[in-house]
Amino acid sequence: MNRQRVRRPEEYLRRADPALGSVIDEMEHSGGPRPSLPPDASMSNDPKMPTDCYGALIRGIAGQNISAFASRAIYRKLIERFGGRPPTPQQVLDDDPDALRVAAGLSHAKTDSLRSLAEHILSGELELDRLHDLPDDDVIHELSAVKGIGTWTAHMFMIWHLHRPDVLPVGDLGIRQAVKRLHHLPGLPTPAEVTRIGEPWRPYRTLACLYLWRLEESEPQV
Catalytic residue numbers, as ranges: 172
Output phi, psi for 30, to 5 deg. Answer: -70, -20
The contacts of residue 194 (CB under 8 Å, 6+ apart) are 168, 170, 175, 176, 179
Rounded to 5°, the CA angle 122-117-55 comes to 95
b/e sequence 148-177, b meaning 16+ C-beta within 10 Å = bbeebbbbbbbbbbbebbebbbbebebbbb
Residue 61 CA to residue 144 CA, distance in Å, equals: 12
Whether residue 123 contacts residue 156, with contact meaning beta carbons closer than 8 Å, is answered with no
H-only helix segments in 107-217 = 108-123, 136-144, 151-160, 173-182, 191-198, 205-217
* Residue from 12, 3, 5 nearest 205 by CA: 12
Neighbouring CB atoms inside 10 A of 67's CB total 11
